[in-house]
Amino acid sequence: MLGEVGGRVACDSVVAPGSGGIPESRQGSVKRDNSTTKRFLAEAGICEGMHVLEIGCGGGEVTRLLAELVGPSGRVVALDRNEAALPTPPAPNVQFLAVDITGDLKSLEQFPRGSFQALAGRRVLMYLAEPAEVLGRLSEWLEGGALVVFEEADSTLVPGRLAPLPAHDQATEWFKSMLLAEGANPSMGFHLPATLARAGFHFAKVRGEAVIQGQGSQFPLADLLTMMKSRIVSAAIATAAEVDSLVERLRQEASDPTRVFVSDISFCAWAHTSGGTAASTGEPDPRKRR
As a whole number, mean pLDDT of residues 42-70 equals 97
What angle is formed at CA 22 by the lines to CA 158 and CA 56, rounded to 5 degrees? 85
Q: Which amino acid is it at 85?
A: A
Q: Which of 33-37, 195-199, 285-289 has the lowest mean pLDDT?
A: 285-289
pLDDT at 272: 98
The identity of residue 86, as a single letter, is: L
Question: Average pLDDT of 102-121?
Answer: 95
Residue 22 clears pLDDT 70, i.e. is over it:
no
CB-based contact 147:284 (threshold 8 Å): yes
Considering the chain, what is the average pLDDT of its residues? Answer: 86
Model pTM score: 0.85
Confidence of residue 237 (pLDDT cuts 50, 70, 90): very high
Per-residue pLDDT, 32: 64
Whether the pLDDT of residue 90 is over 50: the answer is yes
- Provide the pairing of β-strand 51-55 with 262-272: unpaired
Candidates 45, 264, 12, 33; CA nearest to 149 is 45
Share above pLDDT 90 across residues of the chain, in percent, rounded to a whole number: 73
Cβ neighbors of 104 (< 8 A, separation 6 or more) are: none
Tell me the backbone φ, ψ of residue 245, rounded to 5 degrees: -65, -45
**pLDDT grade for 91, boundaries at 50, 70 and 90:** confident
Q: Which architecture does CATH list for 24-279?
A: 3-Layer(aba) Sandwich (3.40)
pLDDT at 286: 40
| CA-wise closest residue to 81 among 55, 51, 111 | 55
Query: Does residue 266 sit in helix, strand or coil?
Result: strand
Q: How confident is the model at residue 12 (pLDDT cuts 50, 70, 90)?
A: very low
Go through 224-239 and write b for each residue having 16 or more CB atoms within 10 A of its CB, e for each that does not.
Answer: bbebbeebbbebebbe
* pLDDT tens-digit series, residues 190-236: 999 999 999 999 999 999 999 888 744 457 899 999 999 999 999 99
Tell me if 22 sits within 8 A of 58, measured CB to CB. yes
Give per-residue burial for 25-34: e unless 16+ CB within 10 Å, then b. Answer: eeeeeeebbb
Query: Taken in order 137, 142, 148, 150, is the CA torsion positive or negative?
Result: negative
Interatomic CA distance for residues 214 and 232, integer angstroms: 22
CA distance 25 to 17: 17
Assess whether pLDDT exceeds 90 at residue 3: no
Arithmetic mean of pLDDT, 148-155? 96
Q: What's the mean pLDDT in 122-136?
A: 97
What number of other Cβ atoms are within 10 A of residue 162's Cβ? Answer: 8
Assess whether pLDDT exceeds 50 at residue 16.
Answer: no
Alpha-carbon gap, residue 2 to 171, rounded angstroms: 15
Q: How many residues does the chain have?
A: 290
- Compute the average pLDDT of residues 96-121: 95
Residue 59 has pLDDT above 60, yes or no: yes
Instruction: Give the pLDDT mean for 253-280.
Output: 85
Quick one: angle between helices 188-198 and 131-138, nearest 10? Answer: 40
Residue 127 confidence class, pLDDT cut points 50, 70, 90: very high
Q: Where are the domains of the chain?
A: 24-279
Higher pLDDT, 133 or 13: 133
The confidence score (pLDDT) of residue 31 equals 58
Q: Is 50 exceeded by the pLDDT of residue 74?
A: yes
**Would the pLDDT of 288 be above 90?**
no
- Asked whether the predicted pLDDT for residue 175 surpasses 80, the reply is yes
- What pLDDT band is residue 255 in, cutting at 50, 70 and 90? confident
Cα(95)–Cα(53) distance, rounded to whole angstroms?
A: 10
